Amino acid sequence: MIYLLITSLIWAFSFGLIKDGLAGLPFSAIAFIRLAVALAVFAPFLKLRTLRAADLTRLLLTGAVQYGLMYIAYIHAFRYLKAYEVALFTVLTPIYVTIIHDLFKRRLNPAAWIAAALAVGGGILIEYRQLSSPELWRGFLLMQGANLCFAFGQIFYRRIMNRLPKSHTDLQVFALLYLGAAFVAAPAAAGALLGGPAITLKQTGILLYLGVIASGLGFFLWNTGARQVGPGALAVFNNLKIPLGILVSVLFLKKPSTGRTC
């Protein structure tokens, strides 16, 4: 559980950094660079010996969905949303986590559904905005796509690792997730990196922080922590970043506590 808490604190600072510190950079390039840096950090720990081809493929698929497709939708959402709105619109992730877990188990867990519903209700109560703006709708839908991908990856990764021999640790296989994600993000980023604006020194520092800490360490700690808690607790922790993200946006990044009004 401590891994999930640490990661939530790390991610609370990411929303504002992406929105403000990386303004002007192509969204696809941001996603790919973060994933490529994370891959470089974890590649030295990769051990493929005795890993079956089927499990290797599943881990690549997990990364492609949970991080690759998720990042494409998530980063593009910043085109339409303020930083705190991106944080707020992750509010439905606990429901997705619970639904996907129950679908895999082919059963209904009432306790987990109640915990997820409470997490969603708490997130909604933080701040409510009517989705009457077309930009908000686009951003909201992009975020739901990102939330679904992230929820799927958490549950699917748990299932894969629970089936692997104990000799395969999270650290030894995690680079495969970033590799699968980088493959997905690379095509969209290729043109943007070649014809896009030059990256400043400040933006380079932000990208390195996001790649090494927020993406690299953060995703590793999150998926590792997700294996150590039940689906109900995991659903609740998926919403912890919402109040933390809004708090950081307001107090540290000097953003207003209210955004568009409808």
- CA separation for the pair 228, 107 (Å, rounded): 21
pLDDT at 257: 37
pLDDT at 242: 61
Q: Is the pTM of this model over 0.85?
A: no
pLDDT at 259: 35
- CA separation for the pair 176, 165 (Å, rounded): 17
pLDDT at 221: 92
Structure-model confidence comparison of residues 167 and 131, the more confident one: 167
pLDDT at 132: 61
- For 11-42, the pLDDT digits (tens) are 776 766 676 777 778 878 888 999 999 999 99
pLDDT(125) > 50: yes
Distance of CA 76 to the CA centre of its chain: 13
- CA separation for the pair 220, 7 (Å, rounded): 9
HSE-CB at 100 with a 13 A cutoff on CA atoms is 22
Q: For the chain, which residues make up each domain, given as ranges?
A: 2-251
- For 236-261, the pLDDT digits (tens) are 777 666 666 566 555 555 554 333 32
CA distances from 220 to 4, 45, 123, 173, 261 (A): 10, 12, 24, 10, 37
- For 34-92, the pLDDT digits (tens) are 999 999 999 999 998 888 999 999 999 999 999 999 988 988 888 888 777 777 777 77
Residues 6+ apart with CB under 8 A from 128: none
pLDDT(107) > 50: yes
What is the chain's length?
262
pLDDT(127) > 50: no
Helix (H, G, I), strand (E, B) or coil at 230: coil
